[in-house]
Structures are given as C-alpha cells and as structure tokens.
Amino acid sequence: MATTIESPRTPYSVPRKRGVNWEKWGWIYMRASGVLLIILIFGHLFVNLLLGEGIKGIDFGFVAGKWANPFWQVWDLLMLWLAFIHGGNGMRTIVNDYATRPLTRKILLGAILFSVVAEIVLGTVVIFAFDPCPAGSPADLLPSFCPVNQ
C-alpha cells in the first residue's frame, strides 16, 4: 500500500467541529441571563415588598391581581425560565467540577435536569392557567372578591 507523506510545510489544520458550541453559548447565557435576572428580581422584590402597602399587602388577592395583567405574566414567566435554566446550568457546572465518579455524575445531572424541567413546566402552567375564581367551587373556599355564585 502506498503511503503519502505530507509535505513538511503543510500547515496543520484543526478539523472544525460541526454543530452548536454549547459550552460557549452556556457561558454567554450565564452572563446575559444574570444581568436580566438582576433587573427582574429586584423589580419583583420592589413591587411586591415596598410599593403600596408593602409586605402586608401580599395575599391571594394580590397575586391574583398581578397575574390578571399580561405584563406581570410575562415578567414572572421570564424570571421563572431564566432563573431555572441559569441555576440548573450552574449546578451542572458544579457537578462536572466535583463529581468524579461517572455514575454519580450521571445521577446528579439527571436529577438536576428533571427538577429544572418539572419546575419550569409546573410554573408555566400556573402562570397561564391561574384562575382565582374557578367556576363551580363552593363559595366558602373562594376569595372575597369573586362574584358570588348563584
């Protein structure tokens, strides 16, 4: 079999990897979402704890009132998704750094993925399907501002 020997001056080229560079985008995501989360979380805390009656104003009706407004629905949705993916990615990094046994690593990463997905799905459902006055509920379980059932 004939062997071709490369010319000694042939530049060494690195095969470029195809596909998305997840490590790079993960790194950029952590910084971008971090900045956004600072605004979202401090805005959230300011509106909930300082404005109006402050911390004493928080009750079922307060949350129901907020989620009746699409602005706060989007705000909370953004906060939920950004924070959980940010936190999940951070936990993934810590596991990658500290879990030395492959099996431990797999279990921990699986648990993180499961909890992130579960919380995001549940949270999203609650934000959009939230109804403070579900029809057909007994009147004594409903908050006072609901129209009284016939």
Partner 1 sequence: MSMVIDEAPAGGPAPEAPIEAFTVTLIIRRFDPDTDTEPRWQDFDVEMFATDRILDALHKIKWEQDGSLTFRRSCAHGICGSDAMRINGRNRLACKTLIKDLDISKPIYVEAIKGLPLEKDLIVDMDPFFESFREVQPFLQSNSAPPKDKERIQSVADRARFDDTTKCILCAACTSSCPVFWTDGQYFGPAAIVNAHRFIFDSRDDAAQTRLDILNDKEGVWRCRTTFNCTDACPRGIQVTQAIAEVKQAIMRGKP
Q: Name the segment binding partner 1 (CB under 8 A); options: 21-29, 33-41, 80-88, 142-150.
A: 21-29
Give, rounded to a whole angstrom, the gap between the first and last alpha carbons of the chain.
Answer: 92
Interaction of residue 26 with partner 1, rule CB under 8 A: yes
Where are any strands of DSSP class E within the chain?
none
Interaction of residue 13 with partner 1, rule CB under 8 A: yes
* CB distance 75 to 36 below 8 Å: no
Interaction of residue 62 with partner 1, rule CB under 8 A: no
Distance of closest approach, residue 98 Cβ to partner 1, in angstroms: 7
**Binding partner 1 by CB under 8 A: which of 17, 18, 56, 101?**
17
Question: In this complex, which beta carbon is closest to partner 1, that of residue 22 or of residue 145?
Answer: 22
Q: What angle do CA 58, 59, 65 make, to 5 degrees?
A: 90
d(Cα 37, Cα 41) in Å, to the nearest integer? Answer: 6
Sign (positive or negative) of CA dihedral 62, 60, 148, 128: positive
Question: In this complex, which beta carbon is closest to partner 1, that of residue 31 or of residue 56?
Answer: 31
Interaction of residue 107 with partner 1, rule CB under 8 A: no
- With CA atoms as reference, report the closest residue to 60 among 128, 145, 122: 145
Question: In this complex, which beta carbon is closest to partner 1, that of residue 12 or of residue 71?
Answer: 12
Binding site for partner 1 (CB under 8 A): 11-14, 16-17, 21-24, 26-28, 93, 96-98, 100
